[in-house]
Amino acid sequence: METSAVGGTIVTPQRKRLKFPGTALTWVAVTPFAAWAVARVAGLERGSLPTQIMTATPYAAAGSLVPLLIAAVGRKRAATAVALLATAALGFSVLPRALGTADAATGRSLKVLTLNTLFGRADVATVMRLVREFDPDVLSTQELTPGMVTDLDAAGLKELMPHRVLYDEWSAGGSGIFSKHPAQELENLMPPVGHQMPAARITLPGGKAIEFIDAHPFPPLGPQVSEWTQALAAFPSASPDVVRIIAGDFNASLDHSAMRGLLSRGYKDAADQVGAGLIPTWPANKRVPPIITIDHVLVDERVGVQEVSVRDVPGTDHRAVLARLTIPVP
């Protein structure tokens, strides 16, 4: 304010400085991600909805940078510290899946292809092209129907993979293992929980055998979440007596505590080992791209992983997972 030469007073308006959101608003931004980090690290998700939401943890890890920036720019020290811890916890939970490399282990090569066929609607021509190009030793299928078995065999699968353990059904419950090598059904390896999950002892060239389980627990929707949890707990632990592989649609990601519990019993996720663990597998062939990773190949800790990739298959809402493995030779 100053005095005019001709009398009167000149008033200079003061510009109002834009203030950064206050402490309360900063904590509103930080708290959900901090809670998510605690739930993820401690495995606290319970019930159907929290279990489903937990699959979005990779996106939460990326999103946690926003409240960290808000708190840091606003110079809210306590909120910044909490936000930084949340971002670090989520980042360390997620980023290693993109940083793996091929295993240098030596042994016998084994190639695995797994696909949820969506009630047998997966395009048979595409499936057969994958089989011919990738030349898998084992093909693990979920939601396998009798009609699809007939169509696959008519397209040449019977000659390429003549050995099989099939529990095909006209529903989502059907599953089946196809193999290039002799396969013997293991009737009591898996209890009757979840969809059909056949198991087989597959004899490899040279007389060595592995055990293979076709995985397909119920999705954790509504009351089925309890059976989903039971199914993941029911998979047998790794054994020093036999090499075991579990492949299929687990309806679970590595951010689920139940899935990590299974891994802790002597397994590793093949995609995670070679830096492909963040490649989403569901939902495929939709207007939105695949967003979560629920199809896996789990292997015994002794098994080497050379490569894991995914392929789109028309007609199904899952992507096929292809894994090149190395089985140890005693």
Tens of pLDDT, residue by residue over 148-185, are: 999 999 999 999 999 999 999 999 999 999 999 999 99
Residue 218's pLDDT band (cuts 50, 70, 90): very high
pLDDT in tens, 10-29: 656 666 555 555 788 999 99
Q: Shortest CA distance to 291 belongs to which of 320, 273, 318, 323? A: 318
Give pLDDT, residue 282: 98
Instruction: pLDDT band for 106, please (50, 70, 90 cuts).
Output: confident
Q: How far is CA 321 from CA 68, 113, 203, 222, in A?
A: 35, 6, 22, 27
Instruction: Please give the mean pLDDT across all residues of the chain.
Output: 93
CB-CB contact of 33 with 90 (8 Å): yes
**For the structural domain made of 104-327, what CATH number should be given?**
3.60.10.10
Coil, strand or helix at 40:
helix
How large is the average pLDDT for residues 181-203? 94
Phi-psi region of 43 (alpha: psi -120 to 50; beta: other; left: phi over 0): left
Task: Please tell me the distance from the alpha carbon of residue 90 to that of residue 58, in angstroms, as a whole number.
Answer: 8
Band the pLDDT of 103: cuts 50, 70, 90.
confident
pLDDT in tens, 269-308: 999 999 999 999 999 999 999 999 999 999 999 999 999 9
From the list 279, 328, 260, 276, the residue with the least C-alpha distance to 300 is 328
Domain residue extents for the chain: 23-97, 104-327
Give the mean pLDDT of 302-317: 97
Q: Are strands 243-249 and 209-215 parallel, antiparallel or unpaired?
A: parallel
Confidence class for position 105, pLDDT limits 50, 70, 90: confident
Query: What radius of gyration do the chain's Cα atoms show?
Result: 26
- Closest to 244 measured CA to CA, from 196, 209, 206, 193: 209
pLDDT band at 206 (very low <50, low <70, confident <90, very high): confident
Whether 131 shows a pLDDT value over 90: the answer reads yes
Residue linked to tokens 């509504």: 222
Confidence of residue 329 (pLDDT cuts 50, 70, 90): confident
Q: How far apart are alpha carbons 108 and 103 in whole angstroms?
A: 13
What is the C-alpha separation between 77 and 71, in angstroms, rounded? 7
The answer to whether 97 and 271 are in contact (CB under 8 A) is yes
- pLDDT of 22 reads 78
> Could you tell me where the DSSP H helices lie in 123-223?
124-134, 146-154, 157-160
> Tokens standing for 298?
């789990």
The Cα 330–Cα 328 span in angstroms is 6
Give the 3-state secondary structure of residue 191. Answer: coil
Which H helix or E strand runs over 177? strand 175-179
pLDDT at residue 5, as a whole number: 57
pLDDT tens sequence across 69-99? 999 999 999 999 999 999 999 999 999 999 9
Rounded distance, CA 158 to CA 149, Å? 9
CB 177 within 8 A of CB 165: yes
Question: Mean pLDDT over residues 190-212, rounded?
Answer: 93
Q: How far apart are CA 299 and CA 315, in angstroms?
A: 28
Cβ atoms of residues 173 and 141 within 8 Å: no
What integer pLDDT is reported at residue 87 of this predicted model? Answer: 98
pLDDT of residue 2: 53
pLDDT in the model for residue 114: 98
Q: Is the pLDDT of residue 9 over 80?
A: no
Confidence of residue 128 (pLDDT cuts 50, 70, 90): very high
**Percentage of residues in the chain with pLDDT exceeding 70?**
94
- Mean pLDDT confidence for 228-256: 97
Residue range 187-195: average pLDDT?
Answer: 90
- Give the integer Cα–Cα distance in Å for 20 and 41: 31
